Amino acid sequence: MTSKHHFSFENTEVAFRHASNSDLNRAYWLFRVINVNFLVKIGPPLTNFAIKVGLPIKGLIKATIFKHFCGGETIRECEKTIKTLAAGKVGTILDYSIEGEDDEQVFDSTCEEIIRTIRRAVKDKAIPITVFKVTGVGRFSLLEKLDKGDKLTDAEQQEWEKVQQRVLAICQKAFETGIPVMIDAEETWIQETIDHLALDMMRRFNKEKAIVYNTYQLYRHDKLQSIKDDYASAAKEGFILGAKLVRGAYMEKERRRADEMGYPSPIQPNKQSADIDYDAALEFCTDHVNRIAIVAGTHNENSCRLLADLLDEKGIDPKNTHVYFSQLLGMSDNLSFNLANADYNVAKYVPYGPIKAVLPYLFRRAQENTAIAGQMSRELSLITKEVKRRGR
Ligand SMILES: Cc1cc2nc3c(=O)[nH]c(=O)nc-3n(C[C@H](O)[C@H](O)[C@H](O)COP(=O)(O)OP(=O)(O)OC[C@H]3O[C@@H](n4cnc5c(N)ncnc54)[C@H](O)[C@@H]3O)c2cc1C
């Protein structure tokens, strides 16, 4: 499909301008390896085992897959990536990626770290938005209990108060500094609690400006309606709706659980339905761009093209701060850099944190980039194209 815009997602020169020949070479071999289904299957258990028995493989991980998909282990280590992205007019979203913890001290320190990402963003156009996950600052099973509507014990009630205080502290800091903060979406069986928290924060802090964003997963069949309902509340109560739009990351897990527990799957019947709702959400939100601020978190080329078309058709300035495109570091640079080069607002998630803590994130990225039926993954074909263009 050719675009009527002054950008092309096939332009690998712009997409990889930031990458040296040796960066490209490293990426080429990395994607060659993760293109192999078998290696991606045995990789996670082998890596976990090696780390458990103390084999010195952290250096290897840090120099390869971690280097490609993460900014570093600390904010300071991300500085080089922040600069490189900024040189291509792409913003950074520092994403402190600690997963699966359930310790109060870790929750406190994660909360402090997220606040540090907000502080780092102040007065720096290179970091236009920040992000966090509620499970980074609160226990998953506590959220699950709340979602079910179960009665909390006194101790749990106190624990819940602390989770809310952490979320409030983060959003308050975002409000004081004027730096927007997005709340990631997670599994359906904790999401209602997250949605309530996010809407509460929006009511409080989004009166003048989009400070807090919730995330809507359009692979759920009920989420297009949620956006419309939340928009109606925002219009009635006088706040701006912040909406990160994604398809959703937990499809298999969601379907498996629904199947095992015998309830109807919350996921759309097929990919096409998810695509239709995603694109309908883009339409709806751009129709109400004065009251809805969106971040389109997607690697889907058609959806990105559609959003650019919608801005064009509706006469929305590409630099309107209510519209951002967003991708993950190390993926879909052909979208991020070509859109940014054409003056759209673009920011990439730059995950960071201790290597061991970001391993689940890295395994998911590897999984996503394995080959489908012997084909080359999209990333690998783009890198190969650029290597050839450079005549190497
Ligand atoms: C910046 C950014 C932020 C993100 N934040 C979150 C977040 O907070 N929470 C979260 O859950 N995910 C998040 N994601 C991940 C996202 O939800 C998707 O998993 C991922 O981006 C792939 O979808 P896509 O739109 O990029 O591309 P595509 O390749 O077009 O879509 C793949 C997606 O389509 C859906 N899908 C595939 N097959 C089917 C099917 N048979 N039936 C129904 N649906 C199907 C699934 O969601 C799958 O991930 C984020 C992604 C990005 C880029």
Residue 392 scores a pLDDT above 70: no
* Least confident piece of the model among 163-167, 244-248, 376-380: 376-380
Residues of the chain with pLDDT > 70, as a percent, come to 96
251 lines ligand 1 (CB under 6 A): yes
Ligand 1 center to 247 CA (angstroms): 4
- Specify the higher pLDDT residue, 51 or 104: 104
351 lines ligand 1 (CB under 6 A): no
185 lines ligand 1 (CB under 6 A): yes
- Are 286 and 316 within 8 A, CB to CB? yes
Query: Which protein residue's CA is at the shortest distance from atom 44 of ligand 1?
Result: 271
pLDDT digits (tens, 9 = 90+) for 32-60: 887 776 666 777 777 777 777 777 778 88
Structure tokens at 151: 């009665």
Over residues 168-175, the mean pLDDT reads 98
Query: Which protein residue's CA is at the shortest distance from atom 38 of ligand 1?
Result: 271
Q: Which atom of ligand 1 is nearest to the CA of 133?
A: 8
Q: Which atom of ligand 1 is nearest to the CA of 348?
A: 1
Identify residue 103 by its one-letter amino acid code: D
- Are 27 and 390 within 8 A, CB to CB? no
Structure tokens at 134: 């509620």
What does the alpha-carbon distance between residue 254 and residue 249 come to, in Å, rounded to a whole number?
A: 10
What does the alpha-carbon distance between residue 96 and residue 158 come to, in Å, rounded to a whole number?
A: 25
Ligand 1 center to 107 CA (angstroms): 26
User: Where do we find the tokens 């309530």?
Assistant: 196
**DSSP-assigned letter for residue 134:** G
Q: Which of 130, 246, 349, 368 to mutate to test the pocket of ligand 1 (most atoms within 8 A of CB)?
A: 246
pLDDT of residue 16: 97
pLDDT of residue 24: 94
Residue 373 scores a pLDDT above 70: no
Ligand 1 center to 176 CA (angstroms): 32
Mean pLDDT across the chain: 93
Query: Which protein residue's CA is at the shortest distance from atom 8 of ligand 1?
Result: 184
pTM above 0.85, yes or no: yes
Alpha helices in 178-300 (DSSP H): 188-205, 223-237, 251-261, 271-287
Ligand 1 center to 219 CA (angstroms): 8
User: Where do we find the tokens 């959400």?
Assistant: 281
91 lines ligand 1 (CB under 6 A): no
State which H helix or E strand residue 326 sits in. strand 323-328
What does the alpha-carbon distance between residue 119 and residue 110 come to, in Å, rounded to a whole number?
A: 14
Q: Which atom of ligand 1 is nearest to the CA of 327?
A: 53
Q: Which atom of ligand 1 is nearest to the CA of 298?
A: 26
- Are 40 and 366 within 8 A, CB to CB? yes
**DSSP-assigned letter for residue 352:** E
300 lines ligand 1 (CB under 6 A): yes
Strands 181-183 and 292-297: unpaired
Helix axes 378-389, 21-34, angle to 10 degrees: 150
Structure tokens at 379: 């990333």
Q: Which atom of ligand 1 is nearest to the CA of 184?
A: 8
Q: Which atom of ligand 1 is nearest to the CA of 182?
A: 8
Q: What count of other Cβ atoms lies within 10 Å of the Cβ of residue 178? A: 13
Residue 278 scores a pLDDT above 60: yes
For residue 351, which of 130, 151, 195 has the smallest C-alpha distance? 130
247 lines ligand 1 (CB under 6 A): yes
**DSSP-assigned letter for residue 135:** G
What does the alpha-carbon distance between residue 371 and residue 31 come to, in Å, rounded to a whole number?
A: 10
If DSSP codes are grouped into helix, strand and coil, which group holds residue 266? coil
- Are 223 and 242 within 8 A, CB to CB? no
Query: Which protein residue's CA is at the shortest distance from atom 33 of ligand 1?
Result: 247
User: Where do we find the tokens 């959703």?
Assistant: 248
Alpha helices in 53-153 (DSSP H): 58-63, 65-69, 75-87, 104-121, 140-148
What does the alpha-carbon distance between residue 283 and residue 101 come to, in Å, rounded to a whole number?
A: 38
For residue 85, which of 127, 24, 27 has the smallest C-alpha distance? 127
User: Where do we find the tokens 């050719």?
Assistant: 2
213 lines ligand 1 (CB under 6 A): no
What does the alpha-carbon distance between residue 174 and residue 182 come to, in Å, rounded to a whole number?
A: 10
- Residues pairing with 215 in the sheet: 244
Ligand 1 center to 370 CA (angstroms): 16
Structure tokens at 30: 């990395």
Q: Which atom of ligand 1 is nearest to the CA of 273?
A: 43
Q: How confident is the model at residue 272 (pLDDT cuts 50, 70, 90)?
A: very high
Buried b (16+ CB within 10 A) or exposed e, 46-70: ebeeebeeeeeeeeebeebbbbbbb
Q: Which atom of ligand 1 is nearest to the CA of 93?
A: 1
Residue 86 scores a pLDDT above 70: yes
For residue 318, which of 338, 346, 299, 291 has the smallest C-alpha distance? 346
Largest CA distance in the chain: 67
What does the alpha-carbon distance between residue 43 and residue 358 come to, in Å, rounded to a whole number?
A: 15
Q: Which of 190, 247, 250, 270 to mutate to test the pocket of ligand 1 (most atoms within 8 A of CB)?
A: 247
pLDDT of residue 2: 43
